[in-house]
Amino acid sequence: MTVAQPSAVEIGLMAGRAGYVLRANDRGAFTVASPTLYPHMWSWDAGFVALGIATVSVPRALNELRSLLSGQWATGMIPHILFHSPSDYFPGPERWRTQVAAARPAGVLTSGICQPPIHVIALSRILHDARRKGGADQELAEEFVRETFDSWLAWHSYLATARDPYSYGLVEIHHGWESGMDDSPRWDAAYANVRVGDMPPFVRADLAHVADPSQRPTDAEYATYLWLLEQKVHARYDDAVYRATGDFVMGDVLVSALLAAASDLLADMGEELGIGGGASGGVEQSRAIARRFRTGVLRSVNPETGLARDLDLRTGTWLDVESAAGFAPLLCGGDDALTRRQRDLLLGPRWCGHSRLRWPVVPSVSPASPAFREQTYWRGPQWPVLNWLMAWALNRSGEQEAANQLRLAGLSQLVDCDFAEYYQPVTGETLGSRDQSWTAAIALDFLA
């Protein structure tokens, strides 16, 4: 499909407006994920936000990551939300009750679960940008990597140990929110087996901020999310206790692929800057993590569909769902023939090239799948950050032409400058929150 490319004027406007959105969402040391629906700092959002801000200000981008690290738990976990000020977001800190956890950080309120490890991918991109700019930016970025190398290693090591205790090579998640794709059909079968038990009553706050409730998860799904949160509290946020008592334990391929890619990049930065050396040093540890999780992701691929699969660790069942997470191998690489097969699949008629799509941009679920829903959250809509990730992965595998196709289509989708959370893939309508920080951030990166 040929896409009309944004004009020079549109590009100029888009860059200006994206910068404006990020400045408006800036609360000093951190950026809110969106102005009303998500008025706090979210973990994987912060990674994307940092790489977008870096195109404008390297010091401010580094501060975003520094701020995120202020919430790191003693286990190494980077929590999925840092609550910096009171708001109507639900569930807030009073629901997470992280005071039951010995490992929580001092002086900052956080949630008690995590999100995909995108951060070191962002950091390596920021370092690359800073080196291109040279001078003070380069010095600051290199100093930041030296200063924070061990914290990132601790984060990755947490995922590789506490979340993969039997060395399957798949990171275990304990909540759909940890996948970043809350209501994805990836989790339907597992959620169907969860029986919601006794818990405090709750009132959802999210629906007040969207035009139509069908754009968000259902009430039944929310009850399940809150029940799993309750189970984490009962386990005092101890991963081993939760594993033995909790209802949702999944090997997540996308998280695993990001961990593999991020670990390689951390090792690369360590080597370049002469940190983390020696046989038992951080560079070697990172390479070992990358190898284990790359192998885990490649092993999960269904040879018939060519897509990677999540593993339900409670039942031992592989989950065949045509979600964008199936392209996890593109992110971590390791099998050139599979990379080419996935490239063709992604650009082909079951995915970006599907005839009903308004723009040939990565949909969260294949439009050819029975699970596809046009306007429901992670069940089909296009999320610009996912498209960015796939373009990044293709570029890294030497597939520049394919990467550029996704980039141009992604920019055309954003030309209205709404910077929405997600897009109706058939009509092109904007959905969810507007002025979403990570959407503005990836636009800046695509334009840089």
Minimal distance, residue 38 CB to ligand 9WN, in Å: 4
Binding residue (CB under 6 A) for ligand 9WN from 38, 158, 392, 419: 38
Minimal distance, residue 441 CB to ligand 9WN, in Å: 11
Contact present, 382 and 362 (Cβ < 8 Å): yes
Binding residue (CB under 6 A) for ligand 9WN from 32, 33, 51, 391: 33
Q: Which of the following is catalytic: 10, 182, 188, 268? A: 182
Which range of residues in 37-45, 56-64, 191-199, 207-215 is near ligand 9WN by CB under 6 A? 37-45
Q: How far is CA 369 from CA 107, 185, 284, 319, 338, in A?
A: 46, 10, 41, 14, 21
Pick from 147, 76, 83, 174: nearest CA to 117: 76
Which range of residues in 36-44, 129-137, 195-203, 357-365 is near ligand 9WN by CB under 6 A? 36-44
Binding residue (CB under 6 A) for ligand 9WN from 44, 96, 248, 293: 44
The owner of tokens 């924070």 is: 148
Pairing, β 310-312 against β 250-252 = antiparallel
- Please list every residue from 205 through 224 that binds ligand 9WN, using CB under 6 A: 206
Residue 217: phi and psi, rounded to 5, are: -60, 160
Burial of 11 (0-12, 13-18, 19+ CB in 10 A): middle
Binding residue (CB under 6 A) for ligand 9WN from 17, 19, 39, 45: 45
Minimal distance, residue 357 CB to ligand 9WN, in Å: 21
Which residues are registered as beta bridge partners of 83? 109
Nearer to ligand 9WN, 206 or 399 (CB): 206
| C-alpha span between 241 and 63 (Å, rounded) | 35
The site that binds ligand 9WN (CB under 6 A) totals a number of residues, namely 10
- Please list every residue from 75 through 134 that binds ligand 9WN, using CB under 6 A: 80
Minimal distance, residue 115 CB to ligand 9WN, in Å: 6
| C-alpha span between 277 and 295 (Å, rounded) | 24
Specify whether 64 is catalytic: no
Q: Which of the following is catalytic: 172, 183, 421, 435? A: 421
Residue 392: phi and psi, rounded to 5, are: -60, -45
Nearer to ligand 9WN, 80 or 407 (CB): 80
Pick from 286, 295, 288, 303: nearest CA to 257: 295
Q: Does 48 help bind ligand 9WN (rule: CB under 6 A)?
A: no
Minimal distance, residue 44 CB to ligand 9WN, in Å: 5
Contact present, 306 and 341 (Cβ < 8 Å): yes
Binding residue (CB under 6 A) for ligand 9WN from 6, 14, 42, 411: 42
Contact present, 381 and 420 (Cβ < 8 Å): no
Tokens of 31: 């950026």
Residue 314: phi and psi, rounded to 5, are: -80, -35
Nearer to ligand 9WN, 144 or 242 (CB): 242
Minimal distance, residue 379 CB to ligand 9WN, in Å: 12
Specify whether 182 is catalytic: yes
The owner of tokens 């999210």 is: 206
DSSP state of 205: -
The owner of tokens 């964008």 is: 324
- Please list every residue from 156 through 195 that binds ligand 9WN, using CB under 6 A: 177, 180, 182
Nearer to ligand 9WN, 342 or 433 (CB): 433
Which helix (H) or strand (E) is 257 found in, with range?
Answer: helix 253-273
Nearer to ligand 9WN, 169 or 384 (CB): 384
Chain positions contacting ligand 9WN, by CB under 6 A: 33, 38, 42, 44-45, 80, 177, 180, 182, 206
Residues forming the active site:
182, 421
